[in-house]
Amino acid sequence: MQNENEHMPEETREDSLKAHLKALHRSLEERGEVDDELEMLLRQLDGDINKVLERHADDPDANTYGLASRSQEITARFAARHPTLEPALRQLGNILANMGI
């Protein structure tokens, strides 16, 4: 099964990623179920994603530090404690992977 973001132009995928990050933040705020550890890891990931997007705009070949893998690790680690967030976290990892980040 192919992801819908796979065939999007790079700019559209970045917009999709930014929109997904905003929606994830909104969801986290509304649910209020995030523990300190998950919040810290998600904030770090969010900051790193924004840095990579800025760097990627200037240099498409810039190192991306395996952010898709980190997102997938966070998803696996917290899926049991935060089952309602798991689909959004998984989708974030898929978007990053499809962008090659």
pLDDT score for 2: 43
pLDDT band at 80 (very low <50, low <70, confident <90, very high): confident
Q: Average pLDDT of the chain?
A: 77
Taking 70 as the threshold, does the pLDDT of residue 72 lie above it? yes
Average pLDDT score over residue span 4-20: 69
Gap between the Cα atoms of 88 and 2, Å rounded: 17
Encode pLDDT of 43-64 as tens digits.
888 888 888 878 776 776 666 6
26 vs 28: CA distance, rounded Å: 5
E strands, the chain, in order: none
Give CA–CA dist 84/67, Å, rounded. 22
> pTM above the 0.95 mark?
no
